Every structure is written in C-alpha cells, then in structure tokens.
Structure 1
Amino acid sequence: MSQTADAPARHHARWVVAALCTGTLLSALNSGMVAVALSTLRREFGVDVATVTWVISVFYLTSAVLQPVMGRLADRYGPRRVFAIGMWTVALAGALGPFAPNLVVLCAVRVLLAIGTATAFPSAAAMLRAVAATSGGNATKMIGRIQLVDTSSAAIGPVLGGLLIVAFGWPAIFWINIPLAALALVSTGILAPRDAPRTRVPLRRTLGEADLPGVTLFVVAVATLLVFLLELADDPPWFLLPVIAAAVALFGWHELRAATPFIDLRLLAANTPLVRVYALFILANLVFYGALFGIPQYLEDHAGYRTDLIGVLLLPLAAFNVVTAPLVERLIDRSGLQRTLVIGLGALTVGALALPLLGASTAAWAVLAATAAVGIPYVFVLVSITQSLYVAAPSEHVGQAAGLFQTARSLGCIGAAVVVGLSFSGGTDPADWLVLATATVGLAVATLVVALAWRPRRTISAQVHPNPPDPAK
C-alpha cells in the first residue's frame, strides 16, 4: 500500500477507534456516575451504606465473570454483532432503571447494564484486528488508546452524574445511557468493519466451552463472601463460612479438571510474576476505588456538598490520565517497569496520607488536593502494571491473562465497596471517615510492601513483547 493510500486508511482507523470508545467507556462512566449517587440512592430506598454497596458489587461481579464469555461470543458470532447486542442491552437497562421500585430491582437493572457493557471491550478489541490489517496500524496500540479513554471517562462520570442528579434526579444517570448507546450503535454501524463470514456454531456449544459451572461456583463464592463481610459490623452470619469454604474448594477442584477453565489455576501456579501482577492490581484498585466510592458519601452526608459540586471535586482522581500516561511511559523506558511501579506505589502511599486530613477539613481546596494526591500516582501504577502484565504473561496466553486482568480490576472494585460499607457502618461522620481513610492508607502501604518484598522470579524490564498478541484472542 502506498504512503498516500495509507493516510486515508489511518484517518479512518482513528474514527473507528473513536466510535468504539463511545461504547467501551460506558462501564467506567456508569461507575463514576453511581459513585456520586450512592447517598441519594440510600435516601431514596431507605437503606444503609452497606446495603447500597450492592449496587456497585453486582455490577462488577457480573463484569468480572462475563468479560471472557463475551470475548468468546465475539470470536464465534462476530464482534460487531455482539457489540450491537450489548448496546441494545445498555439502552434497555437505561430505560428500566428509573422505574425500579426498590433496591433489589435496581441491582437487577445494574446486572443487565453490566451484561451490556461487558460486550464492548472484547468486541472492540476483536474488531481492531481487522482495522489494523487494512490501515497498517498496530492493534495493540489502538487497544491501549481505548483503555486510556475508558480510564479517563472515570473522571467524567462523577461530574456528569452530579449534574444529572441535581438537574433531573437519580433516574437521569440511567436515562443518559439510552442516547449514549444509540450513539455507539450508529457510529459503529457506519464506521466499524463488518463481521467476516463465520462457521455456524450452536450457542449451546459455545456456552459449554465457557465453563459455566466454574463461573457459577465463582459467583456463589464471591457473593456469599460479600454477604458475610457486609454483615460483620452488625450480626455476622457465621453459618456462611462453611458455604464459602465449600464453594471455594469446589471451584478449585472443578477448575483443575475443566477443559477450558474460567480461571486457569495451572497457568497461575506456574507463573508467580503473573500472580504478583494480579495481586498488586487488586490492591491498587482497593485504594483508588475506596476513595472514589467513599469521598462522595462523606462530602454529601457530612459536609453538605451538592452532588454536582462533588463530581467536580472528584475530577482530579482521573483527570490527569491523558497528560501523565506519556510521561510514565518515558520513565519506564529509562528506568524499567519495576522501578517505575515502585515509584508509583510509593507516591500512592504518600498521597493516601492526605485522605485522613479530610477528617479535619472538607474545604474544596483540601478535597481537590486529596483527590489529586491519589489520582496522579494511580496513573503511574496503572500504566506500569498493565505493561507488567504483557511481560509476565506467556505469549501464547496473553489473551487469557488479559481477561483475568479485567477480573482482578473488578475484584478490587468489589473489595473497595466492602471496605467503604464496613467503614461507614456506623455513619459518615469525621470519625467514620477516619476509619475508611486509615484503612485506605493501610492498603496503600500493603501494596507497596508486596511490590518491594515479592520480587518477580524473572526481571521485569522496560521491554515488552515487540509485537504482543492481540488481547482479544
């Protein structure tokens, strides 16, 4: 292909990436919007902090188990088709959410929303293979741009959610999904490549290969553990402990025997550096999302901030991603992944020390300083851990490792919701905030200790695979 012919193809590829982003950003956007809606939802449905965290937990639990399944469906039945079905599902959830009569129904709608958004990233990654082939671009770099936009949308979510809630009430954070999903459908319908012809495969066979028994046992284990943890502050249901133990044991037994396991335990057992990446990612997300889910409730309940202003004050948590990410990549090139990761985690630990100070002052400048102190170093951690994943994962298992990486993120988000629920079990006064802030600082220190003490078996350098396999595969 000539250079002059390449230019239009590359230009078209950028528009395709932009179109796909309209769908892939919906997961992070909805997470940001619901973060500033938690206090409103508590008042609307008359529930406590621990109970309202299920709105977060069911979303991330669904996302954790469905990402690999949706990737398999996209490969089998066409990524554009699966992407479109997902956007229609998002629109349906947006239409049903405002009419939820209680929190149980609202959680069910959030599950539906998670099903729809879970199709977006695996389908987009699969479509980019065809885009890269025609444009001469790099599919991995395109996927990296989508991930950066998705993470940055976490900064927009609280701002948009706050404005919508103040202007139109909490149902608006569901209504907004309808035009956004329509935009994704139209833009990808015009710009995204059509699905190539595929051999017809029965859906039953595809679902059978998705290890549904393993997925079920995973959900039972995590959901039961959540019920137990969220009731610890009041009346711990000790009878659930043997249920949790049995579900975990059965899950491990089944996964070691499954032909296509949901979580390949043998892969993890043979690759300690990969396990380290997942452990650090879970811990880092506990810190970041603990701040994202905790600060809005504290500011609204204790300090009396309006929801729209809270969204603006949360902006520094993710607003610096686009500016900071290139600087982090240069630091990795010069100093290596391990050193950059430690620098980021050290800065995140220092930044987390600003959170307890909000117990003394909730002035706008103090909140902005605290959210920036957590948000800026988190970019260092996110970029370096993501690149560490591609170094630690065997080249023949990069796709599988990338899917588990998204599962690790979801588990970190669920854990953060639990930490917030337990910390605020007695209320959202400064004393309760100090409990959450202290726990967050402790988690940040634990993450840094793990990074320093648990050295990878092989050196993680600045060099990633020259041509890493496409994560969608």
Structure 2
Amino acid sequence: MIAVSLSTLRQEFAVDVATVTWVISVFYLTSAVLQPLMGRLADEYGARRVFAAGMAITILAGALGPFAATFGWLLAVRILLGIGTATTFPAAAAMLRAIAARSGGSAPKMIGRIQLIDTSAAAVGPVVGGVLIVFGGWQAIFWINIPLAAIALVWTHLLVPRDAPRPRTPLRTVLRDADVPGILLFVVTIVALLVFLLDLTADPNWLLVPVVLAAGALFAWRELRASTPFIDLRLLAENGALIRVYVVFILANLVFYSALFGIPQYLEDHASYRTDVIGLLLLPLAAFNALVTPWAEKLIDRRGLRAASVIGAVALAISTLSLLVLGISTAPLVILAVTAIIGIPYVLVLISITQSLYVAAPPDQEGQAAGLFQTARSLGCIGSTVVVGLSFAGGTSPVDWMLLAAITGALGVLYLLVVVLWRTRRPAAPGAAAASATP
C-alpha cells in the first residue's frame, strides 16, 4: 500500500523522491535486522506466541500512524510496523513442519504458497491502498492494519496448534545472545551505504565510503567470532546452496520492487493518473498467481527445481525489457500488459526460490534460515529504493523512467546469469526430498 502513497507523502511532508523512499527503507531495514532474531525467538518460545505478539505490535503501529505530524514521526511508526510484521514469515515457517506432519502435506509447497501470498499481497496492496488514499487520505493505509492484524490474531488463536512445551529460556539470556554489537554494525553499514548511494547524483559524501568499509569489515569480524552471531557466516560458508538461495532472492526482489515502487510515482507525476486507478493498473502483477502457481508446482515436480529456476530466470530477464515501453506510452492497456508480463514469470521465480530454501536449509535451523531468507528479501527491497531514488533524482519524466527501466533490465540479466552459472552441490540433509532436488 505504501507504493502508491509515495507521491502523496512527498506532498504532505514536503520532501523529495530520495527522502520519501526512507519510509520503505526503514521498514525493510527493521525487517532485515529483526527477522533472523524473530526466527530464533520462534524456535525458543514458540512460533504461535511470537506471531501473536507481532500482530499486537502491528495494531499499535496502525493506531499511531494516522497521527504522524512530522516525517520523522512517520518513519518511527514505519519502524514499529516493521517490528510487528518481522515476526510473520519466520514464525509461519517454524510451524510448518508440525502442520505438514499432521496433515500429510508438503512443507516446501506450503512455504512456497505463504511466500506467494506475501508477494500477492504486495501486488494487491496498491489497489487497496489507492482506494483508501482517495477516500480516506494517506492515514487510511495505517488504519487498515488494525482490522487486518486483529483478524490474523483471531484466526491464529482458532486454527494454529498450541506451541509444544519447551524449556523456558529467560528473555535476558536471549537478548544477551542476540549479538547486539553485530546488529548495530550491520545497521551502520546499511544506513551509511544507503545515504551515500541516495546522494550519489547530487552531493555524495565520500567520507561515508570508509565508514561503510570499516563497519562492514568489523561486522564480518564480529560475526565470525560471536558465539551466537546475528548472521551466522560460518553456517553460510558451509552451505553454498543456502548462500545461492539468498543471493538470487535479493536480485529477484531488486527487479520486482524496482518496478513496483517506480511505476506508481512515474504514472502519478508524469501521466497524472489518480492513485486508485494506478492501483488497479498494477493488479496484473498478482492477478495471474492463481493460474500460474499450479503449473509452476507441476513443472518443479516433473523437471526439478534447477530446470524451473532457469526457465523462470530467462522469462523474468526478458520481461524486464517490457518496462522500456512505458517510456513511449502510458496508455492503460499498455500498463496492464507490462505489469502482467513482469508478474507472470515472477510467480515461477518466487516458488522456485522458496522451495529451494527448504531444500538447502538444515532441518534443525529452519526458523533461522527463514529469517535470513526474509532478510535477503528486505535487502532486495532496500536496494530497489536506491534504484528508484537514483533514477528519479532529476524528476519523473520519460527519460528518467527509461533510466530506471534500463537499470532494472540489467538487474534481470544479472539474475539470469547468477541462476545459470552458479551451480552448487546438493546439501547433505537427511530425507529423500532433500536428496532428490538441487536448488
């Protein structure tokens, strides 16, 4: 929903394109920092409890957001919202093994569908957000989180099995083991890099470069020595397949969210479309999910993850070329066609990557691996704000759009090259499912 509100927020709080993208960046930076921790909390205290706590925080953010009087207040509420929603994917992933064992379903397929719902919501969000903004102002995109989170709480209470009994670990112990120094170094590295990149076309602060390098080096040093690191670099070093999953997920989200965050601003500023109309024009990004998902799952079952991943990568790389068409025409049918062309292959890409996570992740560390998976998604989303901010630094004219489309196309080609050229050994994991597929 925030995607179609960027132009409205720019006018409401009198900020430029690069500045308004921080409402996206702080949300995903919060998610990137907290999702691995939430995965550990879900493993330690129970996924159901952690999910419910996150929804309560989301309700609080929804209540505070509409009263934001300054841009700083708005950013603070977005951080709070990031804290609440950071619980959802790791907690869900941690519950799936028990659910699959009871129902006889496939945990990899379930996690793929959860991720698909997540992305579908991101694509349907502009439709809902556009209507809410037109009829209720930007404040409505915060109010709506209250009933949504409340519904999630009720259904979780009614349908999700209670957490299994487990030894209680004091919260102070968990926080002590949360690697706060590592988290802080990670935040400093990402924020310094973001500030530098967003100012690159105007007045770049070159002093931030040594800050990024030093903080990044200290982060790596800390993580290799911490007993419970924020990001377990040793675990990643020993599992090339897992690293590959995270890298391709970052690149795929760079492509998808550069389009999702760029198209609404371009259409509203250049083509003067109403916000609710823009939301409808973005609907094809998700409209084909229901049709493509069964086909994608059958393709994976018959041809394997490797073949499906390559097919999806080729299709996504080719589809990014369609973005260039919007620099020539912004007619409604053209926009609908372009968003459909991007959305269809992304469904296959998403399902392939998500199932690859379950193949590559150690069974006893699925919560942590799922948290890092969402951290990868967050880093891709943060990177997309840099792409949009740099491309639109001089305005939102067709020339500026062509720059964004060219960068997105280059990222699509890079994604294809990584998928095709980066081969990994099958992870050593018990069970025929893990041994029979290569991510």
Q: Same fold (TM over 0.5)?
A: yes
Q: How does 1:165-204 map to 2 (within 5 A)?
A: 165-204=133-172
Match 1:457 to one of 401, 424, 427: 424
* Equivalence for 1:19: none
1:331-368, CA deviations, whole angstroms, 9 ceiling, x for partnerless residues? 22333322222221111121111101101100001111
Shift in Å, 1:86: 1.3
- Distance 1:53-1:158 versus aligned 2 partners, 3 A rule: same
Q: Where does structure 1 lack aligned partners over 5 or more consecutive residues?
A: 1-32
Q: In structure 2, what is the equivalent of residue 6 of structure 1? A: none
Mapped pair 1:104 → 2:72: yes
The separation in 2 between residues aligned to 1:452 and 1:132, in whole angstroms, is 32
Q: Deviations over 1:157-182 (max 9, x none)?
A: 11100000011110000000111111
Secondary structure in 2 matching 1:71: helix
Residues 301 and 276 of structure 1: CA distance in aligned 2, closer, same or farther (over 3 Å) = same
1:376 pairs, out of 333, 339, 344, with: 344
Equivalent runs, 1:266-277 vs 2, <5 Å: 266-277=234-245
Shift of 1:127: 4.1
Of the three residues 362, 380, 386, the one matched with 1:412 is 380
Q: Any unmatched runs of 5+ in structure 2?
A: none
Match 2:89 to one of 104, 117, 121: 121
Structure-2 residue corresponding to 1:259:
227
Amino acid at match of 2:345: P
Match of 1:444 among 412, 421, 431: 412
- Give secondary structure in 1 for the equivalent of 2:201: coil
Aligned residue among 55, 59, 73 for 1:87: 55
Q: Distance in 2 between matches of 1:397 and 1:167?
A: 45
Pair 1:154 & 2:122 matched: yes
- Alpha carbons 1:286, 1:413 under 8 Å: kept: yes
Matched, 1:67 2:67: no
Q: More deviation in 438-447 or 178-187?
A: 178-187
CA distance in 1, matches of 2:243, 2:363: 16
Matched with 1:388 is 356
Tell me, yes or no, if structure 1 residue 48 matches structure 2 residue 10. Answer: no
Greater Cα offset, 189-198 or 432-441: 189-198
**CA spacing shift, 1:270–1:201, aligned 2, 3 Å:** closer
Corresponding letter in the other structure for 2:154: V
Q: 1:142 to 1:385 in 2, by over 3 A?
A: closer
What is the aligned partner in structure 2 of residue 245 from structure 1? 213
After superposing the two structures, state which structure 1 stretch, 152-161 or 134-143, moved more. 134-143
**Could you tell me how far apart the structure 1 residues matched to 2:112 and 2:406 are?**
33
Deviations 1:408-451 (A, max 9, x none): 11111100011000100001011111110111111111111222
Structure 1 residues 268-287: Cα deviation after superposition (integer angstroms, max 9, x where no partner): 22333332222221111111
- Paired residues of 2:116 and 2:351 also in contact (CA < 8 A): no
Q: Which moved more, 1:193-202 or 1:367-376?
A: 193-202
Identify which of 202, 217, 220 aligns with 2:188: 220
Deviations 1:95-154 (A, max 9, x none): 111111121111110010011111222233344455455555555544333233222212
Distance across 2 between alignment mates of 1:138 and 1:130: 11
User: Contact conserved, 1:314 with 1:368, CA < 8 A, in 2?
Assistant: yes
Contact 1:94 1:177 in 2 (8 A): yes
Map 1:231-380 onto structure 2 (within 5 A): 231-380=199-348
Contact 2:360 2:434 in 1 (8 A): no
User: 2:327 is aligned with what amino acid?
Assistant: G
Q: Following the alignment from structure 2 to structure 1, what is the Cα–Cα distance between the partners of residues 239 and 91?
A: 28
Aligned partner of 1:76 in structure 2 is 44
Q: Structure 1's 305 and 187: CA in aligned 2 closer, same or farther, altered over 3 A? A: same
Identity %: 68
Give distance in 2, aligned partners of 1:152 and 1:226: 27
Q: What's the Cα RMSD here?
A: 2.2
Provide, for residues 306-347 of structure 1, a one-character-per-residue CA deviation record: whole Å limited to 9, x for no partner.
111111111111222222122112222333322222221111
CA distance in 1, matches of 2:317, 2:198: 26
Measured after TM superposition, the shift of residue 52 of structure 1 is: 0.6
Correspondence for 1:207 among 175, 188, 206? 175
Q: State the Cα distance separating 1:407 from its structure 2 match.
A: 1.1
Greater displacement, 346-355 / 132-141: 132-141
**Within 1, Cα distance between the matches of 2:347 and 2:290?**
9
Query: Could you tell me how far 1:385 is from its partner in structure 2?
Result: 1.8
The aligned amino acid for 2:368 is Q
Structure 2: how far apart are the matches of 1:35 and 1:436? 16
CA positional deviation for 1:386: 2.0
User: Which TM-score applies when normalising by structure 2?
Assistant: 0.93
- Give the whole-Å Cα distance in 2 for the aligned partners of 1:182 and 1:316: 28
Secondary structure of the residue aligned to 2:287 is coil
Change (3 A) 1:390 1:82: closer
Q: Is the 8 A contact 2:240 2:425 kept in 1?
A: no
Preserved contact between residue 56 and residue 149 of structure 2 (Cα < 8 Å): yes
Amino acid at match of 1:144: G
Q: Aligned to 2:322, what secondary structure does the other structure show?
A: coil
Alignment CA distance shift 1:99-1:465 (3 Å):
farther
Q: Which stretch of structure 1 is more off in the superposition, 290-299 or 406-415?
A: 406-415
Q: Is the 8 A contact 2:359 2:434 kept in 1?
A: no
